[in-house]
Chain A
Amino acid sequence: GAVVSQHPSWVICKSGTSVKIECRSLDFQATTMFWYRQFPKQSLMLMATSNEGSKATYEQGVEKDKFLINHASLTLSTLTVTSAHPEDSSFYICSARLTGSADGYTFGSGTRLTVV
């Protein structure tokens, strides 16, 4: 079936640096993608919705200048964590809207970010 490929699966970075996470749709065009964050033992929290060719819509409380989302093509959305700090360490998951699937969505496998 349709797959969303998310890279990297894990990354360790130094405090103050920026990290880019890619979410790529394989074999289908993803006009809408979603980015989630998940802290240990907690549920997924929706961060933002990205639509191809337009600005992302951020959920309340999510800093858009810190979490830069780019959805420049129908197959690629990226999340850049800028000036990362230890409190940004989390599991980040992307999802794409997928028409024709049983539930209308498909999820990436997630990226574990550790900021040291």
Chain B
Amino acid sequence: RKEVEQDPGPFNVPEGATVAFNCTYSNSASQSFFWYRQDCRKEPKLLMSVYSSGNEDGRFTAQLNRASQYISLLIRDSKLSDSATYLCVVTRPGNQFYFGTGTSLTVIP
């Protein structure tokens, strides 16, 4: 079983829509959680960390459910510039990072 699993999509949504991505992880010892964004032919860049209490950054909300071992990312009022691949990342003690395969989002005018 993979450490991190994501629905690869693609998700095609109209501008202004709300879209949610989920990610599950297999190891209950996982320590830290992140969402990264990767634009076409670019490197992954940190979008936001994910905390147990949930956290929000503008139109983006991330949540963590440790009991069910899943992470979510909600994007409200989608913009064309949100089109990218969103990578779920989970860490384990010892600086081990595990990446999901990414979920592709295209926001349509």
- Chains A and B bind each other: no
